[in-house]
Amino acid sequence: MSTRSSTGTSTSTTSWVAGATGSAHDVDNLPYAAATWPGSATPRLVTRIGDHAVDLAAAGAGTRWADLLAAPGLDPLLAAGPEAWAGVRGWLTDLLTDEQAARDVVLLPVDDLVLHLPFTVGDFVDFYASEHHATNVGRIFRPDGDALLPNWRHLPVGYHGRSGSVVVSGTPVRRPCGQRKAPDEPLPSYGPSARLDIEAELGFVVGRGVPLGERVPTSGFADHVFGVVGVNDWSARDVQAWEYVPLGPHLGKSFATTVAGWVTPLAALEPARVPLPGQDPAVLPYLTESADWGLDVEIEVELAGEVVSRPPYRLMYWSPAQMLAHLTVNGASLRPGDLFASGTVSGPERDQRGSLLELSWGGREPFTAGGRERTFLEDGDEVVLRYSAPGAFGRIALGEVRGTILPALP
Ligand code: CA
C-alpha cells in the first residue's frame, strides 16, 4: 500500500495484526477505551486494532508518553493537548504497521474486554442541532404553533445535563419514575415513565481546556476536542413534557445518558468531514465556520434486534465547531473531560428519525420492531446504536452504544 504521510514515519499502511487490514478497525481508526480483562485488576488504557486490543500501559512503557498511557483512563491524555494526541497516534500507527514490533506487542481479544467509562465526565451539555428533529418535535408538542422557535436558526440551542449519570455502553438503564400529567388529566401523578425513549446522538469529548473568561473560536475546534463518542440520551417523554416549562429538560433526561466505551479520535474522522447542508439566515460572525466540520457519520438504531432507523449525521444544521464556539462565547471555561452532544440526529425520512417519539409520531402512529407494533420502550428492550464513517482506508466503525431497560423500582 502507499506511503503514509502525516501520521508517522512508517512506510507501510498495512498492519501486521491478522484481520485488521481492510476491516472497520484498521490503522485508520485506532479508538481508545479504558478496559479490564481476565487477570487485570484495574482499568487500563487500550486501543483497538482488528478484533484485538493493545494494552497501552505495556506497549507505551519507555516512550515519551508513558505517563499518559499508564493512566486508568483517558484523563491525562485529554489534558495533554493536540501535540500529544497526534504524537501518540503516530507512534501507535508505526507500532501496528512495523513487522519488527509484532513480537513485542501483546494482543488481547477484544471480546475479553470489559469497558469502563473512558474518561471522567466534567460538564455535560446537550444541544438540539438537527433541524429535522427540532421540526418534528415542534410539530408533535406544539401542533398549533411554529415548528421551530424564533431563536433556533440563530444559535445552537442547548441545555446543561447531568454528568454524574453518564454511563458506559452496556450499563442497564432502570425505567425512571417521576411526576407526569397528560393534557386531559386534572392533576399530576407520580409513577414509572410510560413514554421512555431513546435519542441517537453524537458526543464530543473536550481535551485541552480553556480558563474562565476565554473563548474558543470555531477555528479552535480541533485544538480543544479530542474525539467523539456515540451517545444515547435516554428520555422520559411524559416527565419531560410536564416539567420542561419554562427552564428546559431536567429529571426527564438526568436519570441516564449512555456513551460508547470507545472514543474515536477526531483525527480518524478527517475523511468524514463535509460541508454543512446550509444555514439561512447567515449566522452571527462568532458562529461563522472557518472550515467544514459537518461529519458524514451514519447511525443505525436497533430495537429488539431490528434496525428501525438510520439517522444521517451529515444533515445536522449546526456543526460541533459552532456548538463549542457558542458554549464558550460568554466566557464559560472548558475542562478536559467536558462532554457536549449534538442532540437527536434525525433525517427527513421516517426511517431516519433518531427517537421513538418521532418514529411513533408522539405514540399515535406505531411502528414495527421485533415483529410487533411499538411506540415507546418496554421493560427488557435492548437498544443498540451503531456508528460508521468514511476512514482513510475504507469505512471505520465507532464504538456502539448499548443499553437494556430494567423495570422501575417498586
Ligand atoms: Ca438529547
DSSP code per residue over 45-102: EEEEETTEEEEHHHHTTTSTTHHHHTSSSSHHHHHH-HHHHHHHHHHHHHHHH-GGGG
Q: CB within 8 A of 402, min separation 6: which ones?
A: 169, 170, 258, 382, 383, 384, 385
In angstroms, what is the span from residue 197 Cα to ligand 1's centroid? 10
In angstroms, what is the span from residue 153 Cα to ligand 1's centroid? 18
DSSP 8-class letter at 103:
G
Number of other residues whose CB lies within 10 A of the CB of residue 98? 18
Residue with grid cell 413514554, as numbered in its chain: 195
The answer to whether 316 and 345 have CB atoms below 8 angstroms apart is: yes
In angstroms, what is the span from residue 218 Cα to ligand 1's centroid? 22
Closest by Cα among 274, 261, 195 to 232: 261
Which stretches of the chain score pLDDT less than 70? 1-11
In angstroms, what is the span from residue 344 Cα to ligand 1's centroid? 5
Q: How far apart are CA 376 and CA 356, in angstroms?
A: 6
Which of these is catalytic: 52, 133, 224, 326?
133
In angstroms, what is the span from residue 103 Cα to ligand 1's centroid? 46
Q: Which three cell numbers stand for residue 213?
A: 473568561
Question: What burial class does residue 271 get, using C-beta atoms within 10 Å of its C-beta: 0-12 exposed, 13-18 middle, 19+ buried?
Answer: middle
- At 140, give phi and psi (nearest 5°): -75, -45
Report domain extents, the chain. 32-116, 124-406
In angstroms, what is the span from residue 106 Cα to ligand 1's centroid? 39
**Nearest-5° Cα angle at 133, 406 to 344:** 45
Residue 11: what pLDDT?
54
In angstroms, what is the span from residue 126 Cα to ligand 1's centroid? 6
Reported pTM:
0.96
In angstroms, what is the span from residue 278 Cα to ligand 1's centroid? 22
Q: Has 133 been annotated as catalytic? A: yes
Q: Which three cell numbers stand for residue 226?
A: 479530542
Task: Report the Cα 149 to chain-centroid distance in Å.
Answer: 26
CATH number of 124-406: 3.90.850.10
Q: How far apart are CA 388 and CA 399, in angstroms?
A: 9
Sequence-ordered alpha helix ranges (H) in 219-283? 221-224, 237-243
In angstroms, what is the span from residue 347 Cα to ligand 1's centroid? 15
Q: How large is the greatest C-alpha to C-alpha distance in the chain, in angstroms?
A: 74
In angstroms, what is the span from residue 4 Cα to ligand 1's centroid? 39
In angstroms, what is the span from residue 384 Cα to ligand 1's centroid? 16
**CATH assignment of 32-116, given 3.40.718.10, 3.40.50.300, 3.20.20.370, 2.30.30.230?**
2.30.30.230
Residue 142: what pLDDT?
87
Closest by Cα among 176, 226, 216 to 327: 216
In angstroms, what is the span from residue 146 Cα to ligand 1's centroid? 20
In angstroms, what is the span from residue 199 Cα to ligand 1's centroid? 6
In angstroms, what is the span from residue 341 Cα to ligand 1's centroid? 7
